[in-house]
Chain A
């Protein structure tokens, strides 16, 4: 397969189309506007439906309706838009419907700014929805990986009957890299939906019995059983969906922990440190929930400090510290507000942190 040079946002949209996405719902928000724009002209050509929602509130609920009735659904937004979608996402978890959500994140809080940020770490990994629910979160570090994860996310969402969230950022949405697009899988026609989704509301003529997709459970024992059922799924997902990449952990004195855009800066910082005779390594979580605790067991005996490296005020530190479990000192290198530190800044700050623990 030949590679094409595509802008991230357009590649993400194309990946969803090729995954068999039937419906896309979205509301304009920077820096992901190329996605609804691309979907508006390309999804109908593939037999799908594009609908510009009146708000993110409406978009996530449109997604619920389409998913409950058996369609493969993709929605995308950016940080404040995701905050608006949270109620719907919790509802969709409770009602057990598959939806793929892409967050091309920006700085915050509030309207914040539109430059790349990772200040949604807490929002995506802990939710903003109410109640006991979990949403698998996958954080790609490049356009090819994002395309592959979006494509696969539809299967994960179907398997667990739950939303799956892809956490990219504005830099990935706007940049271009060569990408190999996956094959088109086609859209399941409405009359065949119940073959793979017997629970979907398609009209009783199409399946045995009557299907109802619901969330309300007023009896505490019934609700508790339902939540326990959800957590059986989440326990399985927590085992199956752990993903990470690591480099140089055997030799590293400094171990960076970084995802997405920041992991790429760390990769360059590692080269620069190496040129100065300092060995550094990287743990790059791809799944942010479930968090790849196991990756930290690969850290070698030379490690002096583990550094969480983030585009926020240190939102991932809690997870890093839990995974480190007291074995090494933990430091933080961060910028926020949409500022991406240079690899040189990371090198200097890492050296200081290393000095501090020696």
Chain B
């Protein structure tokens, strides 16, 4: 088993965090993982991308030529990275911010209105957690409970007041 994933959005959408949560959860489940962000000036307000590889075996290379899973959080990311998805791979689109449909017909596509869903729950900022739940449901890459642990860890201490909101955002698609 080797899963190559790519997450793309803009700074502030929590896109890198989605990748990190999956990488951490997979590590906690005993898998080999790598997480590689784009870095540099892009970090400051531009696009924010990361590559995550999860495997049963040691991972030769943290860079990927094609993605088994592509998650796009905004329109520029769809336009730029749709071609990265491997034939038969999965593309998940944040349809709240992406008004267009995917062009390819050799891949599976899911549309998740993550920002609208998060807004309905009370906070637009939890859109990435809505997306994270949807990813787990679609891929089964890690156990939901492992991710819930990560979320509890992430929203501890001063951030604890945001925990219930983020947990329910995460569970939205897992409970559907």
Contact = CB atoms under 8 A, between A and B. Distances in A.
A174 B27 contact: no
Given A5-B20, A5-B27, A174 B62 contact: no
25 contacts: A5-B20, A5-B23, A5-B27, A5-B33, A30-B39, A31-B40, A114-B39, A115-B40, A170-B39, A174-B37, A175-B34, A176-B23, A177-B34, A177-B62, A178-B32, A178-B33, A264-B63, A265-B61, A265-B63, A267-B60, A267-B61, A268-B61, A271-B60, A340-B63, A342-B63
Contacts, number: 56
Which interface residue of B24, B36, B63, B65 has the most chain A CB atoms within 10 A?
B63
A175 B36 contact: yes
A342 B63 CA distance: 8
A3 B30 CA distance: 10
B155 interface: no
Interface of A: 3, 5, 30-31, 114-115, 170-171, 174-178, 264-265, 267-268, 271, 340, 342-344
A175 B37 contact: yes
A205 B112 CA distance: 72
Interface string B38-53: 0110000000000000
Nearest to A3: B27
A178 B23 CA distance: 9
Nearest to A8: B36
Chain B interface extent, by class: 10 to 19
A3 B32 CA distance: 11
Contacts of A267: 60-61
A344 B65 contact: yes
Interface in B47-85: 60-63, 65
B35 interface: yes
A271 B55 CA distance: 15
Please report whether the interface of chain B is mostly helix, strand, loop or mixed according to DSSP.
mixed
A150 to B, nearest CB: 19
Interface in B1-34: 20, 23-24, 27, 32-34
Contacts of B36: 171, 174-176
A176 B61 contact: no
5 closest A-B pairs by beta carbon, nearest first, are: A267-B60, A176-B35, A268-B61, A175-B36, A268-B60
A11 B101 CA distance: 41
B36 to A, nearest CB: 4
A6 to B, nearest CB: 10
Nearest to A345: B65
B86 to A, nearest CB: 13
B35 A264 contact: no
A8 to B, nearest CB: 10
Contact of B39 (A174, A340, A343, A344): A174
Nearest to B150: A5
Contacts of B27: 3, 5, 178
Contacts of B23: 5, 176
A125 B95 CA distance: 52
B62 A171 contact: yes
A271 B37 CA distance: 24
A119 to B, nearest CB: 17
Given A5-B35, A177-B33, A264 B62 contact: yes
Contacts of A175: 34-37, 62
A280 to B, nearest CB: 13
A178 B28 CA distance: 10
A314 B27 CA distance: 37
